[in-house]
Structure 1
Amino acid sequence: MTRDIIVLTPRMPNPETLLAESDLLTDRSVVVLHDRPILAATTWLTELLRTAARTGRHLYLVTPPGTRLLLGDALEAAWQTLTGEPPAEWSTAEPVNVPWSRRQLTDLARTRARGGSPTWTVAVGASGRPAIAAVRVVRTRHGVEEHITLALGYGAGQSVPLDLLPGLAEELATGHGLATMITELRTARADLTTPAHFEPPPIPVSLTLGPDAVADLGLARARSALSGLAPAELGPAARPGLHCALGDGTDPAAWQRLKLVNEQLSGKGR
């Protein structure tokens, strides 16, 4: 049985047309004005970047202070902090064998968002450190949201880098639009597979509220809810995030602490 294979090659935009579509063009610079919450790495923008480089120009993106670029950057930042390297591969299903690319992840999510569909992907790390993440991207009335679950495996005799969590929390809160983050520790297989029998549940280690979450709640109310946990402020004092430790991952009472905090934040503890 034979099959015809049709290869579709997209027509690349004319370089002169691309440059003309920018907001300001000089012999040395290309300026793009972007007044939106999310700056997506569209095909137009990436091609404009290449064209600017080929013509000896610098590309300048002018945005409001709160604008954020490229999906996957928060996951990459967390992966880099906790393992020393970025994710290795990603895909929308197994086998996970596509080289990690924030640009391709963004393009996929953007295409699916046009049809009103969320995007679910999985990423894995190199063999030196078992790591796997699930990323769900959804479009809401507030913009684009990423829901990330990252799991790392540590063997017997290996220390879990809990000391890196405060620094990671600050990086995500100040530079990657973090809303909330909960970190947990559990006893399980280091290779991250799940056997067909009971395993101990995870235990909360820390809680982080991003600047937007703190602003929505009010700083005084958020600090009051976390008062028994000595929360640390993250980022500028005018608009901080908050990070607090719930335990060391060995005390089940951390679940009760998290429950009380949640009740306080939701107003149920009043």
Structure 2
Amino acid sequence: MTKDVIALTQRMPDPWAVLAGLLSGGPDKLVDTTGEGAVVQLCDERGRPLISVEAPLLMQVPGEAERLLGATEPPVPFWWTEARAATGVAEAERLAGTFAARLASLSGGSAWPREATRSLGVVETDGVSVAPTPAAAQPAVDVLTDKVAVIIMDRPVVAMTAWLADALRAAAAAERGLQIVTPPGTTLSPAVLANMPDWPSRWVVQDERAGYFDGLSGAVLRWQDGMFSAVAAPDATEEEPRTPAAASFQEVAGTDERQLLVTFRTIHPAHERLVLGGALETAWRELTGEPPTGWGTAEPANLPWSPGRLTEVAFARAPEPTWFVVVGGPGRPGLATVRISRTTAGVEETVTLAFGYGADEEPPLDALRGTAEALVTRHPLQSMFVQLRKARRDLLVPPRFEAPGVPLAFVLGAEAAREVPGDRARLTPLAEAPVRLGPKARPAYYYPLPEDPSDLAGWADFERLMRHLKGE
């Protein structure tokens, strides 16, 4: 049974509705708060949490419940209220389900998953005992050691939720890794992949044959010395350490679905009139004909697209960096992550953008040059890199091997091109000459690369170009 339950309601759950849901465990249970009041907890008589309930989130972006839960959602705007049960306590899991069911009944809506939210009756919790609150003080953390924080998630998609973001920050502050354990059918949001720290952090997938394996590398894992670690192959040596790969990870099915990946960076002079997000909107419009639909500082993305509001949040958090997720409409799967940071050069935006296409859909490759031209002429583009790869249209990351993308183009912005000595930016060792973009006095350059998605030789051309531009 899942540890997480979510109520999707047409009306904002008022305090009485939340209290009625929390009384699912009986009137003898205690209510406490954490996370500066943003999380309400139902505790046992010793003050240890049975369930943790996050503050309701107003959803103004359609399609997020379908994307992250596979659930049918009410028309926007609606309210998303998330609860998490204490790990390993069956009564707590039923209590969380009953809480969500009561909330949905009182506020008009539905609860996810349906099998966890069938009862509205009081759940017997006498004698239930749960583990102490972890040292990380994070409701999402299930196991804490001196090396890692472990989160067990039974959801169709591991998303970059506010809880997960808090757990990532707490683990980093404590100099621990974060390991996310999921069943085999779970996928990963690209937003989580973009924020996953290095080793010993891992995506740990349960597997009938291997026990556990790393969902991104396929390495067979075992719990040892306080964390999930890779198992050494029988023929491994100190000089050649080797790890067996799980058979499930290597079972790859062919696909005709594709993803267009665009990564670019802009640097703006810092001033009070600066508005961020414009470059991302320009690229989105050039490649889809429409602007993004929504954005947020976590998943689900709940706010309608607004560069002005995004800028306000970034400026309020400065000089600390800010991370955003941006999504498109249900008709064209699109997701971007944006990292904004203050540097000595100004305000830097680093954008990773992806769009998904089915077997009968053609990616807009003929729009790439126009996109680069728009970014060069309207925004302070530093560089842009475009790839195409065979992968899922919905952009989700499965626990299976996925082939790398093929590089399609690289763009050097005008300011970056000026820093390349001599005429090296214009004269390259590639067979095809670059296309000059922008004003003649301060040109940028578009470097086309082979467009055959099955030809990985394009990486050799890309490496040659990078070495040439760096003067190596």
5 Å matches for 1:39-54?
A: 39-41=271-273
Find the residue that maps to 2:460 and give its secondary structure: helix
TM-score by length of 2: 0.42
Instruction: Give the Cα separation in 1 of the matches to 2:348 and 2:428.
Output: 25
**Inter-partner Cα distance in structure 2 for 1:148 and 1:249:** 25
Q: How does 1:142-153 map to 2 (within 5 A)?
A: 142-153=345-356
- Residues 1:192 and 2:395 aligned together: yes
Deviation at 1:226, TM superposition (A): 5.7
Specify the SS of the correspondent of 2:439.
coil
1:202–1:142 distance in 2 versus 1, CA, 3 Å:
same
How much does 1:95 deviate? 1.2
The answer for the alignment partner of 1:262 in structure 2 is 466
Corresponding position of 1:55 = none
SS class of match (2:423): helix
State whether residues 226 and 244 of structure 1, in contact with CA within 8 Å, keep that contact through their aligned partners in structure 2: no
Is 1:93 equivalent to 2:298 in the alignment?
yes
Secondary structure of the corresponding residue to residue 440 of structure 2 = coil
Task: Write the distance in 2 (CA, Å) between the matches of 1:236 and 1:226.
Answer: 24
Displacement, 1:229? 2.7
Alignment pair present for 1:104 and 2:336:
no
Task: Give SS of 2:374's match.
Answer: helix
Q: Which structure's residues are more often strand, by fraction?
A: 2
Q: State the Cα distance separating 1:257 from its structure 2 match.
A: 0.4
Q: What is the correspondence of 1:47-86 to structure 2 with a 5 Å cutoff?
A: 69-86=274-291
User: Is 1:206 equivalent to 2:438 in the alignment?
Assistant: no
- Provide the rounded CA distance (Å) in 2 between the counterparts of 1:219 and 1:149: 31
Q: Does the 8 A contact of 2:430 with 2:465 survive in 1?
A: no
| Aligned equivalent of 2:96 | none
Q: Can you give the 5+ residue segments of structure 1 that lack an aligned partner in the other structure? A: 6-35, 42-68
| Aligned pairs (5 A) from 1:162-201 | 162-201=365-404
Contact 1:204–1:249 (8 Å) recurs in 2 = no
Q: What amino acid is aligned across from residue 144 of structure 1 in structure 2?
A: V
Q: Is the 8 A contact 1:96 1:122 kept in 2?
A: yes
- Aligned counterparts of 1:139 and 1:225: Cα–Cα separation in 2: 33
Cα shift at 1:110: 1.0
Contact 2:435 2:446 in 1 (8 A): yes
Q: Is the counterpart of residue 225 in structure 1 residue 457 in structure 2?
A: no
Structure 2 Cα separation of the partners of residues 207 and 219 of structure 1: 19
Residues 150-165 of structure 1: pairs in structure 2 closer than 5 A: 150-165=353-368
The structure that is helix-richer by fraction is 1
- TM-score normalised over the length of structure 1: 0.73
Are the equivalent residues in 1 in contact too, given 2:340–2:348 (CA < 8 A)? yes
2: CA distance between counterparts of 1:2 and 1:204?
Answer: 52
Q: Is the 8 A contact 2:356 2:395 kept in 1?
A: yes
Q: Who is 1:17 aligned against?
A: none
Q: 2:439 aligns with which of 220, 230, 236?
A: 236
Q: Measure the CA separation in 2 of the matches of 1:85 and 1:252.
A: 31
How far residue 218 of structure 1 moved from its aligned partner, in angstroms, is 4.0
1:252 aligns with 2:450: no
One-letter amino acid matched to 2:321: P
Distance 1:117 1:2, change over 3 A: closer
Q: Deviation at 1:221?
A: 1.4
Does the CA contact (< 8 Å) of 1:214 and 1:241 recur in 2? yes
Alpha-carbon distance between aligned partners in 2 of 1:40 and 1:228, rounded to the nearest angstrom: 45
Corresponding position of 1:37: 269
Say which SS state the counterpart of residue 424 (structure 2) adopts.
Answer: helix
Counterpart CA distance in 2 for 1:227 and 1:203 is 16
TM-aligned CA deviation for residue 227 of structure 1: 5.1
Q: Could you say which residue in structure 1 is the equivalent of 2:156?
A: none
Q: Equivalents in 2 of 1:253, 1:40: separation in Å?
A: 46
Alpha-carbon offset, residue 157 of structure 1: 1.1
Say if 1:185 and 1:249, in contact at 8 Å, map to a contact too.
no
Corresponding residue SS for 1:220? coil
2:116 alignment partner in structure 1: none
How far did residue 225 of structure 1 move? 3.0
Structure with the greater alpha carbon radius of gyration: 2
1:72-119 deviation line (CA, Å, top 9, x unaligned): 000000111111111101011111111111011111111111xx3111
Change (3 A) 1:2 1:203: closer
Q: CA RMSD in A?
A: 1.9
Unaligned runs of 5+ in 2: 1-30, 38-267
